Amino acid sequence: MSETGGRPRRAWIARLSPRGEVGLDRAASPRAIVEDAVARVGADPVRWAIELNSVVLRRIVDEVPVLGGSPAAVEMLRRGNEATTLRALFTLAEGPAAAPPTGEAILAGIREFVHRAIPLERVLHGVRVGHAATTEAFLRACAGLVGPEEAVAEVTAISRELFSYVDELSDTMIRAYLVEHEVWSTSAAAARADLVRSLLSDAAAADVDEASRVLGYNLRRTHEAVVVWSDSPKGGATLQAAAIELLRARGATTTLVVPVASGRLWAWGTVPPDGTDGMDGTGWTDRTDQTDRTHPTGSWETVTEALSRQRMQAAFGAPGSGVAGFRRSHREAQRGERVERLRREAGRAPRYATAYADVAAIALLATDLDAAGDFVRRELGGLAARGAPMEALRTTLYHYLDAERSLVDVARRLHVARGTVTYRVKRAQEVLGHDLDDRRFALHTALALAEELGDAVLLPRDVER
């Protein structure tokens, strides 16, 4: 594979290079596509494009958050935007005719947006944001690599060519969106997804029996909701099978699954409220009851092991009855998912399975993250400072209060000596500047938030993390 590639019609293109250490292995595109790009324009320009894609992706997700939504959805967006960046690079280097046809990475993103019911105007907003950021980067690079006598003409030409490029790209994406929307909107999957969203937004207006018939899922039963997600854009069938397995392990007799994004789905299972046989008093017996009535409720360890094995995470709501319980359990599962995403941002080890009951207090306290952060920093004072030493003091003090001041319990939990616990508690109290019994509940709450969410509450939101 050539390290310099061919001769581009613009010599300065070959001199593009990333600012940081960017390897070709960081590309989102398949290896064959990357190798072809290197052969055409050189390795350094491709590395530059990979680095630029990361910058543009952040800007798109910041300005049009709905285009993200999950790590897997962001990864799909990264692949699609990298493809458009490389096509723009080829357009400038070799001429508009050299740009390859719109690839699968871009079309897969369009299908994803349609299935997630993201309006076309939001998709085009993302295209405009990406185009502006990409054009800005090319113009800045050109100004630094082209002599002053050529700069004006070259910048004008680049602007014109990139405008034509994004105009053609937008037309292609609009056509692809409308075609996919027409197919999707007439499908049974779309009807089910629309009905579920309607139930979640306005349960009072639903005809429960008719909705149950359409969904093939008895809404009058007791439901346990789960949100399942993965960092990689796994196929829908893989996620769906995992969700059904999890709910069966939780004792569900029937399930309802709704994909909502690449690598993310919502699901519900009908669970007996008191270990009964699945009859709800209305004469309705779920279709799988005859074979699954004796299915044992799996342990939490079984669920966690299954998720760990498939490298997925899941958040469960508490069971609830009827349509109101269907909605409430789903809201709780979403809150549990949000807590896990915040913990991930804080660098905490992932919990593969999360029960809302275990994180409800943190979820509610973190509903307003800015206010939660103000509270934590105010209550902890100097103890909210970043760094490993202060984190050790916070963790030790949190477990000390949680264990009702048992040095033995804390030493066992943290795998340290009792003397270490004693020292850290004393030092933490010195940093706080007041007795631990002063505002004990507020202190314990602030420590719990810091323990779970880290920088999300230890730093103001406008501070670089």
Q: Render 324-378 in DSSP notation, one character per residue.
A: HHHHHHHHHHHHHHHHHHHHHHTTPPPPSEEEHHHHHHHHHHTSSHHHHHHHHHH
Is-contact 142 12, C-beta < 8 A?
yes
Number of C-beta neighbours around residue 78 at 10 A? 21
Mind spelling out the 3-state secondary structure of 56-77? HHHHHHHHCHHHCCCHHHHHHH
How would DSSP label each residue in 252-281? -SSEEEEEEETTEEEEEEE--SSS--S--S
Cβ partners under 8 Å of residue 249, min gap 6: 297, 298, 302, 303, 306
Distance CA 384, CA 374 (A): 11
Of 380, 382, 390, nearest to 445 (Cα)? 380
Structure confidence at residue 284 (pLDDT): 33
- The phi and psi torsions of 387 (rounded to 5 degrees) equal 115, 150
Helix (H) or strand (E) holding 228: strand 222-229
Mind spelling out the 3-state secondary structure of 144-177? HHCCHHHHHHHHHHHHHHHHHHHHHHHHHHHHHH
Structure confidence at residue 234 (pLDDT): 58
Is-contact 200 330, C-beta < 8 A?
yes
Q: What distance, in Å, lies between the first and last C-alpha atoms of the chain? A: 39
Is-contact 24 44, C-beta < 8 A?
no
Question: Exposed, middle or buried, 274 (CB in 10 Å: 0-12/13-18/19+)?
Answer: exposed
Q: Using DSSP, state whether 394 is helix, strand or coil.
A: helix
Distance CA 234, CA 149 (A): 51
State both tokens at 110. Answer: 């369009």
**At what angle are helices 322-345 and 356-365 packed, to 10 degrees?**
70
Name all domains of the chain by residue range, CATH numbers in brackets.
11-185 (1.10.490), 190-359 (no CATH), 368-458 (1.10.10.2840)
Distance CA 351, CA 334 (A): 15
Distances (CA, A) of 29 to 35, 50, 234: 10, 10, 16
Q: What is the sign, positive or negative, of the torsion defined by CA atoms of 352, 355, 360, 363?
A: positive
- The phi and psi torsions of 59 (rounded to 5 degrees) equal -65, -40
Q: What is the pLDDT along the chain (465 residues), one digit of tens a residue?
A: 334 444 556 889 889 999 989 899 889 888 888 998 999 889 999 999 999 999 999 999 999 998 887 777 888 889 899 998 998 888 888 887 777 677 777 888 888 888 888 888 889 999 999 999 999 999 999 988 888 888 888 889 989 988 888 888 888 888 888 888 877 777 777 788 888 988 998 756 678 888 998 888 999 999 999 999 987 765 567 888 888 888 988 889 899 998 887 788 899 999 988 644 333 333 333 333 333 333 344 567 888 888 888 888 999 999 999 999 999 999 999 999 999 989 988 888 888 999 999 999 999 999 999 999 999 999 999 999 988 999 999 999 999 998 888 899 999 999 999 999 999 999 999 999 888 888 889 999 999 999 999 988 998 866 544
Distance CA 419, CA 425 (A): 10
